[in-house]
Amino acid sequence: MSQTLDLAKIHPGFLDPVRESQAVFRKVMDAVARPGSVADLAFAVDGPPGLDCAAAAVALTLFDFETPVWLDPALAGGEAEGWIRFHAGCPLTPETSRAAFALVARAQDCPPLSAFNQGDAKYPDRSTTVIVQVAGLEGGEPVVLTGPGIKTETVIAPRGLPHGFWEQLETNNAQFQYGVDVMLVAGPLLLALPRSTRAQIRKG
Amino acid sequence: MSLETVVGGAPERRRWLSVLAKAMPRELVEAWEALKERPTFTALRNAETGLVLVRGRMGGTGDAFNVGEMTVTRAAVRLPEGETGVGYVGGRDKRHAELAAAVDAMMQSPTLRERAQEIVEQLARQQQARREAAARKAAATRVDFFTMVRMRSPD
């Protein structure tokens, strides 16, 4: 992965990298601590075409030279790839099972969650964090979240997830301590579904 | 990301980037401020300082080994017309890195190239003068060693 970047096409990143990445980090940390709560990252960065504002902010904040990143085919090779390489300086990997982060621009084409790195017994934290861009965080089929960080239950209704996603998430949750962590983003909004969270489609 | 990845292979550009990097920060700032019209530029990546691992080969052909780490400051800037330049300079002078990037961007612009070329040539002359002065100083204290063998007559 060392083709020359065409710098003329690269959009700016954070204007003030230290402050902005700290602010985004805090928001993302809170979102993961309280699964289902929605973080608004509109203040951070516009990002390149194809990448939602929240996904771009997470990329600049969390990706670095130690985190292999998997990009879905809609992002790989495009402007977003150049932008991520330039600003985050992270290695890209074509193998889902080696990725520390995965960026999925088209939720419908998201590979099965079991294809990503599930972590191992010594280092379950090394599993992939999968960032999925969805059509919206509201207006879809209601899903009830329970688990650590949620007092009773939280109801979310993201739109545009592939068929069978929640079943996959249930399987993912069942193998805790292993498993991937998922973040759903839509525009500037972000919602986290860590592996400890149980998600069930609301019946009736 | 390596400089190679960012800059690509054009030997001309390598030369001017090298001249800009090796310039004394003061010389570059003076040359920049002497410009009648200075283009405005925005930061694509703000100047940031970090370490680069310098590697070498014994005798130029041996196995690669780590010489040591070097402090490097880099910046990437964009001119209003979209030309994008990069500056990688030794040390921690952020202004140096920014201006090197700005001049690199000017060198890629058809309208600004001439002015940027003057800066580069002026810096190159100053570097050449410094090198020659150092060489003269060294030459003045040169000691030639003779050995007994060389001083002996041929027969």
Instruction: Summarize pLDDT for B12-69 with one digit per residue, the tens.
Output: 999 999 999 999 999 999 999 999 889 999 999 999 999 999 999 988 888 999 999 9
Cβ of B43 within 8 Å of Cβ of A8? The answer is no
- CB count in 10 Å sphere of residue A111: 14
pLDDT at site B131: 95
- Tell whether the model's pLDDT for residue B80 goes beyond 80: yes
pLDDT at site B152: 57
Q: Residue written as tokens 């294809």?
A: A115
pLDDT at site A1: 42
Q: Domains in chain A, start-ordered, CATH in brackets?
A: 16-201 (3.40.50.11310)
- Tell whether the model's pLDDT for residue A67 goes beyond 60: yes
pLDDT in tens, A121-179: 999 999 999 999 999 999 999 999 999 999 999 999 999 999 999 999 999 999 999 99
pLDDT at site A87: 93
- Tell whether the model's pLDDT for residue A110 goes beyond 50: yes
Cβ of B4 within 8 Å of Cβ of A2? The answer is yes
Q: Residue written as tokens 């860590």?
A: A194
Task: Find the residue in A nearest to B4 (Cα).
Answer: A4
The region of weakest confidence among A79-88, B7-16, B73-82, B111-120 is B7-16
Beta-carbon contacts of A125 under 8 Å, excluding residues fewer than 6 positions away, are A119
Nearest to B39 by CA among B124, B87, B122, B109: B109
Q: With b meaning 16 or more CB within 10 Å and e meaning fewer, what string describes B51-69?
A: eeeeeeeeeeeeeeeeeee
Task: Find the residue in A nearest to B1 (Cα).
Answer: A89
Under an 8 Å CB criterion, which residues of A touch B? Answer: 2-5, 7-8, 10, 12-13, 15-17, 85-87, 89
Dist. CA B80–CA B39, nearest whole Å: 8
Contacting residues of A for B82, CB less than 8 Å apart? 8
A189-193 vs A198-201, strand pairing mode: unpaired
Contacting residues of B for A4, CB less than 8 Å apart? 5-9
Confidence of residue B144 (pLDDT cuts 50, 70, 90): confident
pLDDT at site B1: 45
pLDDT in tens, A4-55: 777 888 888 998 889 999 999 999 999 999 999 999 999 989 889 999 999 9
- Tell whether the model's pLDDT for residue B81 goes beyond 60: yes
Q: Which residue has the higher pLDDT, A11 or B70?
A: B70
Nearest to B5 by CA among A88, A170, A3, A64: A3
- What average pLDDT score do residues B88-96 get? 96
Q: Which residue has the higher pLDDT, A162 or B3?
A: A162
pLDDT in tens, B96-140: 999 999 999 999 999 999 999 999 999 999 999 999 999 999 999
- CB count in 10 Å sphere of residue A5: 19
Sign of the Cα pseudo-torsion (B18, B22, B23, B29, in order):
positive
Task: Find the residue in B nearest to A7 (Cα).
Answer: B84
The interface pTM score, or ipTM, of the predicted complex is 0.73
pLDDT at site A8: 80
Kindly report the backbone phi and psi dihedral angles of residue A129, in degrees, each rounded to the nearest multiple of 5, phi listed first: -100, 120
pLDDT at site B143: 85
Of the candidates A8, A17, A89, the beta carbon closest to that of B1 is on: A89
- Tell whether the model's pLDDT for residue B8 goes beyond 60: no
Cβ of A5 within 8 Å of Cβ of B84? The answer is no
Confidence of residue A204 (pLDDT cuts 50, 70, 90): low
pLDDT at site B59: 84
| Beta-carbon contacts below 8 Å between A and B | 40
